Chains A and B, each alone.
Chain A
Amino acid sequence: MEINEYIESGILEAYVLGSASDKETRELLQLRTRYAEVDDALLELELDLERIAQHMAITPPPTTWLKVEDSINEIVRSSSNKLKVTTPAEQKTYNPNADKAPSQFIEVEGASSHMRIHKLWRWVFAAVFVLGKIFLGFAIYFYLENRQMNIQMKELKSEIQHIRSK
């Protein structure tokens, strides 16, 4: 088969779209190294495929990358906690405290100074804040009430003393 005929057969399109058979893929990859025309056509098709995808592109929500980052960090954290590392020196020498030595585990600590907690806690914090405000309101109310009563008591006492002195 002529190389131009091969390029025109549609095998290249089938390959870039991922529907070529294993045999076709092997043959194409061999021809790609032998013929510059095949390599050029393939590169052109790969760019076309990307261009088509670019025209159908939709911007994902702005928080998606954070979700990706969070999920990766979560997996890294959980796998790091399970990771047990021994140094070569420890492997070669007898350590009588090997079974109970917690230093065998590398302490994994995030570089960030921020703490991640469950979202449920925001409601708890909100409730604590609201309750705090309510208690503060009561405290101020009873303080003012108490002060008022003390003033009234003083007035009553002075009235009684005044009546007695008469």
Chain B
Amino acid sequence: MLKTEQHTLIQTKQERLRGIYTRHSSKLFGYIYEVVKDHKIAEDYLVKIFQDIAMQPDDRNLEAAENWMFLQRFAKNRLAVFVSSIQTCDPIDQASLKQFSGNRYLEILNEEQKRIFCDVYYHGRTIHEIAVELNQSEDLTRKILKESFAIMRRSGGN
């Protein structure tokens, strides 16, 4: 009896996870690939992220993972070690420019917008950190981030 219940629970959890995977895996894979720039490493991270979600003791993470924003943040945390070891989003750093070349969303942004969006979206840096680094106010940094977001949103609508 216990064995059957346990098996049913695992099966239900896996089915829910499969639903999340079907809905979000392409977006997540695209996001991870944009950070790591290697299909094999991106796939490994994707597997690890879903494994971590499934292994949480309660179902709260599973529920939250149905929301893209949560899933993307979860992935960002898991990628933190990798992100800290790669190049910055500084446009002076040629390698970082190459890193995001071919991404039509980022290419429509100017250097400053690209840098702030990249720092926030891919590197998970706070507005305060970026503002200090760029020697500008947090309000201005937030405004630039808002502009970048608006440009990308408009571009997506076209």
Residue ranges of A at the interface with B (Cβ–Cβ < 8 Å)? 8-11, 13-14, 16-21, 45-46, 48-61, 64-65, 67-69, 71-72, 75-76, 80, 85, 106-109, 111
CA distance A147 to B3 in the complex (A): 61
Q: Which secondary structure characterizes the binding site on chain B?
A: helix
**CB neighbours of A71 from chain B (8 A):** 47, 51
Q: For the complex, give the distance between the alpha carbons of A11 and B105 in Å.
A: 21
Taking the closest CB of chain B, its distance from the CB of A50, in whole angstroms, is 4
Using known A-B contacts A18-B124, A64-B25, determine if residue A49 contacts B30 with beta carbons closer than 8 Å: no
Determine the chain B residues whose CB is within 8 A of the CB of A11 once the complex forms.
Answer: 142
How extensive is the interface on chain B, given as a class? 35 or more
Q: Which of B17, B27, B145 contacts A13 (CB 8 A)?
A: B145
In whole angstroms, what is the CA distance A67 to B43 when docked?
A: 10
B residues with CB within 8 A of A? 2-3, 6-7, 10, 14, 17-18, 21, 25-31, 33-34, 39, 42-43, 46-47, 50-51, 54-55, 67-69, 72-73, 76, 103, 105, 120-121, 124-128, 130, 139, 141-146, 149, 152-153, 156
Can you list 28 A-B contacts (CB < 8 A)? Answer: A9-B142, A10-B143, A10-B144, A16-B69, A18-B124, A19-B127, A21-B126, A45-B149, A50-B68, A52-B152, A53-B30, A53-B68, A54-B27, A55-B156, A56-B27, A56-B30, A56-B105, A58-B26, A58-B33, A60-B42, A64-B25, A64-B29, A65-B18, A65-B21, A68-B47, A68-B54, A106-B2, A111-B7
